Structures are given as C-alpha cells and as structure tokens.
Amino acid sequence: MANYTRIEVVNVMKQTGMVPLFYNADLEISKKVIKATYDGGARLLEFTARGDFAHEVFGELNKYVLKEMPGMIMGVGSVTDAASASRFMALGANFIVTPVFREDIAIVCNRCKVLWSPGCGTLTEICRAEELGCEVVKLFPGDIYGPAFVKAIKGPQPWTSIMPTGGVSPTKENLEGWFNAGVTCVGMGSKLIAKGADGKYDLAKIESDTRNALSIISALKS
C-alpha cells in the first residue's frame, strides 16, 4: 500500500520541481544511487521498471527507503498495463508513471487513490487523462516537444500540470526553458544519474547535480 496520498505526492512534485528516474537490476547499486539523490535533496524517485524481476528489486528497495530515508517518496515508471501497476502498488509504489496513456491503468490507480502520470503527446490525450483524474501529465518524449509545446498548452488550459521527461538536463539553461514555459516539475534520468569514465555511477556527482538542479529550480519557481 502507498504511504502517501496522491495529493501529498503532487504537493511534493510542486514543491521540489523534480523527479529523478533510475533503474538498475542490482539492489545494492540502486540503494547507493537513491541515497545520493536523497542526500542531494530529492524527495521523489521514479524507479523505471524496465528489466526482468524489476518488481522484486523495487519491493526490497522500497523497504530500504522506508527504513533509511524518511520523506522519500518512491514511485514506479515505465508501467504499461494495469496488472503491472497493481503489482507495484501492492509493493508500496506511491505513484505510477506510464510512457503512454492507458485507461486501464487510470482505473486501477484511481481505485487505490494512487497518483498516476500518463505519457501524453497531444492536447486531446491530456484532456482525456484529466477527465480520468490525472493530476500531473507526463510529456514524453520531452525533448521532442520542447518548452514551446508546454507554453502553447498552458494558454487554453492554465490548470494543466505538466512534467516533461526525456532530454531534461540539470543545467540552468535547460531548466529555465522548461519552468519559464510553465511546467510543474521535470523528470530527469540519465542526464542526472551520471556514470563516470569507468562505467560506474558517480555518486558524488549525482548528489552534487541533484542539489544544484533543485537550487536552480527553487530560484526559478520563486
């Protein structure tokens, strides 16, 4: 069961403005990466469930986070069907993110009052998602649409909350473009969760980049 209501999750999305996203099949590596984002100030993380037995990794990871990282809200991304959404919610996922718009996922998440954020790419999809109770729409792939798309959507629909994912980077120039266009928060993956030249995750850099990105976002939102 989720430990946070969907409204609580939305509020943290609005307050922090960033959702790091990450996947690794190795539990111990995942713990270290999430700890680095947490130490950098992140209070949300989307575990992008893209590998075999990802639900098992997430289940153990969520237990670790609940014990060691107070206030960290764990969700799951790359969910493509209602059965998978239900499985991850049973393991404590506090939000579900999907690459596409799926009504079956909306139904199971709404039944449990868990936030769901569907990947949308047209105003029609966004409107339909909101009719089904979506609080924050995922714009994916974000770099294909760009800030101009967000600004255009916010014209006729100023109430729409948008989270671009894909191509978002922790630089002032990139973040300034998105937040000036009116996004609620951004999803950030490989541009934030960096690996060093040796192919291993650079934990110090992840922590530093997370802290810096959150500082930039805070200034842009103030």
Contact indicator for 25, 51 with CB cutoff of 8 Å: yes
Residue 126 class from Cβ within 10 Å (0-12 exposed, 13-18 middle, 19+ buried)? buried
- Count of domains in the chain? 1
Contact indicator for 159, 203 with CB cutoff of 8 Å: no
Which of 60, 143, 135 is CA-nearest to residue 97?
135
**C-alpha span between 172 and 213 (Å, rounded):** 8
Q: Write down the pLDDT at residue 216.
A: 98
Average pLDDT, integer, range 128-151 = 96
- CATH label of the domain that carries residue 195: 3.20.20.70
pLDDT over 90 (residue 45): yes
Q: Write down the pLDDT at residue 195.
A: 85
Q: What is the 3-state secondary structure (H, E, C) of the chain?
A: CCCCCHHHHHHHHHHHCEEEEECCCCHHHHHHHHHHHHHCCCCEEEEECCCCCHHHHHHHHHHHHHHHCCCCEEEEECCCCHHHHHHHHHCCCCEEEECCCCHHHHHHHHHCCCEEEEEECCHHHHHHHHHCCCCCEEECCHHHHHHHHHHHHHCCCCCCCEEEECCCCCCHHHHHHHHHHCCCCEEECCCCCCECCCCCECHHHHHHHHHHHHHHHHHHHC
Contact indicator for 109, 85 with CB cutoff of 8 Å: yes
Residue 1 lies in a domain: no
Residue 42 lies in a domain: yes
Average pLDDT, integer, range 46-57 = 94
Q: Write down the pLDDT at residue 144.
A: 94
Quick: pLDDT tens for 160-181.
999 999 989 999 999 999 999 9
Domain boundaries, position 189: 6-221
User: In one letter, which amino acid is 182?
Assistant: G
Let me know how long the chain is.
222
State the chain's mean pLDDT as an integer.
Answer: 96
Residue 47 lies in a domain: yes
Q: Between 68 and 198, name the one with better pLDDT.
A: 68
Residue 204 lies in a domain: yes
- How far from each other are the two terminal CA atoms of the chain, in whole angstroms? 34
Q: Write down the pLDDT at residue 5.
A: 94
Q: Write down the pLDDT at residue 177.
A: 97
pLDDT over 90 (residue 199): no
Residue 32 lies in a domain: yes
Q: Report the alpha-carbon angle 14-5-73, nearest 5.
A: 65
Q: Write down the pLDDT at residue 74.
A: 98
pLDDT over 90 (residue 222): no
pLDDT over 90 (residue 198): no
